[in-house]
Chain A
Amino acid sequence: MKALRAALAVAAVPFGIVGYRILVHDLHSSPQNAVASVAVAWTFVAAGLVAWARRPQNRVGVLMTFVGYALLERKLQYSHDSRLFTAAFVFGEIGLGAALAHVVLAYPSGRLTTRVERWFVGTAYTAAVAFPAAMLLVWDYPRSCVYDCGHAFRQHSSIPIAPNETVFHALDQVFKIGVYGVFAVVFIALIAWRLWHATPRGRRLLAPLLLAGVVAGSRAVWGSIHEISGAGTSDPFYWWQVTGQIAIPLALLAGLLSARLARGGVADLIVELGRTPSGGVRDALARALHDPTLQVAYWLPMRQSYVDEDGRAVELSEDGRAVMRLEDIAAIVHDPELDPDLVEAAGAAARLALHNARLQADVRAQLGKVQESRRRIVTAGDEQRRRIERDLHDGAQQRLVALALELRLAQRELGAVADPQIERILASAVDELQVAVEELRELARGVHPAVLTEEGLAGALESLAGRTPVPVEIVSAPDDRLPPEIEAAAYFVACEAITNAVKHSQATAIRVHANRRNGRFVIEVEDDGIGGAKENGGSGLRGLVDRVEAHGGTLRVESEPGQGTRVVGELPCAR
């Protein structure tokens, strides 16, 4: 490849010189115009070869070189030698037409991305060869002419099969005004579409397209005016055209090399990844590739799905984004304007870091599942407690009361006639049953207080306060209902904290706060007792910590000796 590029570079020099001679001697161009014309071709060749050498994977360099050679070839059609003219004429329209459109639309990836673009470029190549070829077949020497018809400049077609000036003239007009005009309009529309849909980053890269659009547009306008009015070339306009044409390859080259500069970022990326913790892989990649919208999704083979850095499942949306899959590890979702080779290189450089991050994401995903199941276990436990309470209530309690009433009625029936012994037995049976009912009621309340289900946290706390021997002040309680698991957790925290305060702290007053603070529900119980309680002191508190943490909350105990005790439970609560 290197040798081929060297050969193309060297060959362009004599080729250009031959072209210059033909322009000056045969077409009678002014030397400045001829130099400018060759310079445009050489610029394309030179810029193309540089791009080709620096970005061998990208076809834009090759295409630019091709445009340059097509422009050099175009000069040969001004030769008076009829064979050279014929051969050169067939391909003369490719350079500034189809090939230029091709390279501009293929920029920056080197590939035509949409079907419309491929169709357009294919048609342009076909038209650029078909019309000149057809014109050569009907060439009618000496009347036929396509360049500078005012001068005594007449060429011979070497393949005139059916010379016919009328047909020739019609073809010439249709080609120069109709076909060129239509193609210029479509070309400008395609460029406008690309610019319109480009991402902000892409738009910066697409500046050469804009330039090409303006040049092609003005050339088409100029060409049509020239053709229709037959007016001569205006000098300033000619130089403007030349400048524009030289600017196109330079702009394309600059665009490609700036992407090349981003490749230098990949080297920095390797250095940076050595330092960043794995959570920062995405940020490091985003910086290296200059794409702040970049996302990384990690592949979990066990789940056959992608997750984000925190282990949450993600769908890879292809919608307007490009996806680079690094097999079995991750997918990089990025701006489609990024050079895929560059993304792949960055992905390869970050492979180890991505692998580590994937393992972490996997662990987080599993942790998430464990937390979820822990929450479900506690919720199911609460549900079970509610059911036990209801069963006791509707079953045993109900029956015992009914039975006690039966005995009471029997006692009354027998009252007057029976032996005082039986009377005493019945009375004490009723008393025992009443005690049993009361004990069952306490048991049911301990399992799950009915008032919590029926009245919510405020009612349950009030009931708790009413049953506590130490004065309990409910400073705040929610007016509305909370999710049942939050109500249950908050209630049991208050219940345990109050029980401990009564049993161990010698408290004379207890205050309870229950309210929402910044999206969390906070239950706080403070007493004025002796303090010195420990969070892991009793199994009761330990169980509460588990319960609160299962719902993603926290529980802390502040209990300096002599300072009283403060138990604070915080639970996430969106509502």
Chain B
Amino acid sequence: MRAVIADDSLLLREGVARVLADAGIEVAASVGDADALRRVVATEKPDVAIVDVRMPPTQTDEGSRAAEAIRERHPEVGILMLSQVVEAHTALRLFGDRPEGFGYLLKDRVLEIDDFVEAVKRVARGGTAMDPQVVSQLVGKHRKDDPIDELSPREREVLELMAEGRSNAGICAKLFLSSKTVETHVSSIFSKLRLAQAPDDHRRVLAVLAYLRAEG
């Protein structure tokens, strides 16, 4: 598995590179701005690019614009966006209708090394990684007669982990539950939210996000 890193902080870039190397992921390139990112993605063809949202020169949204361009031209490359602030509105705009191979995490998540590496690998394999803070913003969004209120606390936890993009196995590991129990929770959630069962993880994330983003 190969990755490229784009972040204007050299210290952080090197730290992330070490984390990835320790986890057996080859860091093909590590760059400090959006133009360089676009170049190395084209030449290195990595499995995943880890991209800071704000980069020079304007420090506004170079990262996310570069990410959009890369998703357009190299749909096989997974993109994991890192940001100092995460917002549901921004997340949903960046995800668009394609949660495959896309992640959006608060920058501090790199400190939880195992979770972070897991997320990088998931995105590299075409999965999804949505920041828990975004998920809780979406889940906390108030609606009238929200079926989410019918979920048990455990089911709510499972829903949030699904929305983060985790597979059943990931959820089992996170909550220390058996895979059977998780499956039961998942089907219960789908029936309470009146959603059709999704055949795979990608479409499951899509269904859950679509449900969460829907206006009350």
Contacts and interface: CB of A to CB of B under 8 A. Distances in A.
Given A393-B59, A455-B89, A466-B88, 9 more contacts: A393-B84, A394-B59, A401-B111, A405-B15, A405-B16, A438-B108, A454-B90, A466-B141, A471-B142
A455 B84 contact: no
Interface residues of A, number: 38
B78 to A, nearest CB: 21
A77 B33 CA distance: 107
A143 interface: no
B20 to A, nearest CB: 12
Contacts of B9: 398-399, 402
Given A401-B108, A402-B9, A405-B15, A473 B142 contact: yes
B24 to A, nearest CB: 15
13 contacts: A398-B84, A401-B111, A402-B11, A405-B11, A405-B16, A408-B111, A409-B18, A409-B19, A437-B108, A451-B90, A454-B60, A466-B136, A473-B144
A465 interface: yes
B26 interface: no
Given A394-B54, A399-B9, A405 B111 contact: yes
B65 to A, nearest CB: 12
Interface string A452-472: 011100110011011100011
B199 interface: no
B19 A441 contact: no
Nearest to A472: B142
Contacts of A405: 11-12, 15-16, 19, 110-111
A495 B110 CA distance: 31
A176 to B, nearest CB: 88
Contacts of B138: 466
A58 interface: no
A454 B61 contact: yes
A148 interface: no
Interface in B45-93: 54, 59-61, 84-85, 87-90, 93
B12 A455 contact: no
B141 A465 contact: yes
A441 B137 contact: no
B212 to A, nearest CB: 11
B62 to A, nearest CB: 12
A27 to B, nearest CB: 101
B140 interface: yes
B113 interface: yes
A463 B111 contact: no
Q: Which 6 A-B pairs have the closest CB atoms?
A: A466-B137, A459-B89, A471-B142, A405-B15, A402-B11, A402-B12
A412 interface: yes
Interface string A385-400: 0000010011001110
A430 B59 CA distance: 26
A404 interface: yes
B107 interface: yes
Contacts of A195: none
B111 A434 contact: yes
Contacts of A430: 111
A445 B113 CA distance: 26
Given A398-B84, A465-B142, A455 B113 contact: no
Interface string A406-427: 1011001000000000000000
B121 to A, nearest CB: 18
Contacts of B16: 405
B60 to A, nearest CB: 7
B93 to A, nearest CB: 7
A403 interface: yes
Interface in A43-70: none
Contact of B87 (A398, A401, A455): A455
A211 interface: no
Contacts of B96: none
Contacts of A441: 84-85
B153 interface: no
A455 B141 contact: no
A466 B22 CA distance: 36
A439 B88 CA distance: 20
A470 B15 CA distance: 39
B54 A466 contact: no
Name the residue among B54, B108, B138 with the largest chain A CB count within 10 angstroms. Answer: B108
A178 B93 CA distance: 88
B15 to A, nearest CB: 4
B90 to A, nearest CB: 6
